[in-house]
Amino acid sequence: MARNAAEALGATGVPSFTTELIAGNLRWDLLSPWPCSDPADDARADEAIALLGKVLRTVDPVTVDDTGKLPAELLADLRRHGLLAPGVPIADGGLGLTPSGVFRLVEAAARHTRAVSMTMAIEAAIGVGAYLPVLAEGPLRATVREALRAGALSGTADTEPSGAANRRRETVAVPTPDGTAYLVTGEKVYVGNAPIADLLWITATVRSPDRERVRTFLIRTDDPGVVVTPHEFMGLRGFPNGRITFTDVRVPADLVLVEEDDYEGRITPAITVMLSLGRLYLICAPALAIARTSLRLAGDFARTRMIDDRPLARYDAVRRSTADSLAEVFAIESVTEWCLLAGPVRGLNPLLEQNLAKNICSLDSWRTVDRTMSLLAAEGFETDRSRLARGMPAGSVDRLFRDARGLRISGGVDYLLDYWFSQMIVFAGARGTGPGAPAPDLRHDGLTPRNAEHLRGAAASTRALAVLCDEFAAEGDDGAAPADQQQRHIAIGATYRELAAMALCLARAQHLAAGGDETAQHLADVYCTAARRRIDDWWPQISRAAQPPYAAVSDEWIDHGRR
Ligand X SMILES: Cc1cc2nc3c(=O)[nH]c(=O)nc-3n(C[C@H](O)[C@H](O)[C@H](O)COP(=O)(O)OP(=O)(O)OC[C@H]3O[C@@H](n4cnc5c(N)ncnc54)[C@H](O)[C@@H]3O)c2cc1C
Residue 78 Cα to chain centre, angstroms:
23
H or E segment and range at residue 515: none
Q: Is 480 in the site for ligand X (CB under 6 A)?
A: no
Comparison of 82 and 412: residue with beta carbon closer to ligand X: 412
Burial class (CB in 10 A: 0-12, 13-18, 19+), 240: buried
Stretch that binds ligand X, among 99-107, 154-162, 361-369, 555-563 (CB under 6 A): 154-162
* Least distance between ligand X and beta carbon 106 (Å): 14
The beta strand positions in 209-345, using DSSP E, are 211-220, 226-230, 241-252, 256-257, 306-307, 310-311
* Residue 65 binding ligand X, by CB under 6 A: no
Count of residues in contact with ligand X, rule CB under 6 A: 23
3-state SS assignment for residue 164: coil
User: Where do runs of H (alpha helix) occur along 382-474?
Assistant: 384-389, 397-407, 414-420, 449-474
Q: What is the three-class DSSP state of 269?
A: helix
482 binds ligand X (CB under 6 A): no
Of 206 and 236, CB closest to ligand X: 236
Nearer Cβ to ligand X (168/314):
168
Which of 244/459 has CB closer to ligand X? Answer: 244
User: Please, how many CA atoms are within 13 Å of residue 522, restricted to the half-sphere of its CB?
Assistant: 10
In eight-state DSSP terms, residue 34 is P
What is the closest distance, in whole angstroms, from the C-beta atom of residue 169 to ligand X in the complex?
10
A 10 A CB-CB count for 377 gives 11
With contacts defined by CB under 6 A, name the span among 150-158, 204-212, 214-222, 291-299 that binds ligand X.
150-158
Closest to ligand X by CB, 86 vs 436, is 86
**Selected binder of ligand X within 98, 159, 355, 423 (CB under 6 A):** 159
The SS3 call for residue 557 is: helix
Distance (Å) of CA 548 to CA 5, 79, 419:
34, 55, 20
Decide if residue 561 touches ligand X (CB under 6 A): no
CB proximity list for 135: less than 8 A, separation 6 or greater? 141, 144, 257
Residue nearest to ligand X (CB): 163
Binding mask 234-253 for ligand X (x = CB under 6 A): --x----x------------
Applying CB under 6 A, among 409, 452, 464, 467 the residue interacting with ligand X is 409
Residues 410-429 as x/- pattern, contact with ligand X by CB under 6 A? xxxx--x-------------
- The residue from 156, 221, 461, 462 that contacts ligand X (CB under 6 A) is 156
What is the 3-class SS of 358-382, one letter each residue? HHHHHHHHHHHHHHHHHHHHHHHHC
CB of 411 to ligand X, least distance (A): 5
Q: Which of 91, 150, 165, 480 binds ligand X (CB under 6 A)?
A: 165
Contact letters for ligand X, residues 122-141 (x by CB under 6 A):
x-------------------
Give a three-class secondary structure readout of 453-492: HHHHHHHHHHHHHHHHHHHHHHCCCCCCCCHHHHHHHHHH
- Check residue 467 for interaction with ligand X (CB under 6 A): no
Minimum distance from residue 184 beta carbon to ligand X (Å): 15
Residues 6+ apart with CB under 8 A from 206: 172, 173, 174, 175, 182, 212, 213, 214, 215
Residues lying near ligand X in the complex (CB under 6 A): 122, 155-159, 163-165, 190-192, 233, 236, 241, 406, 409-413, 416, 486
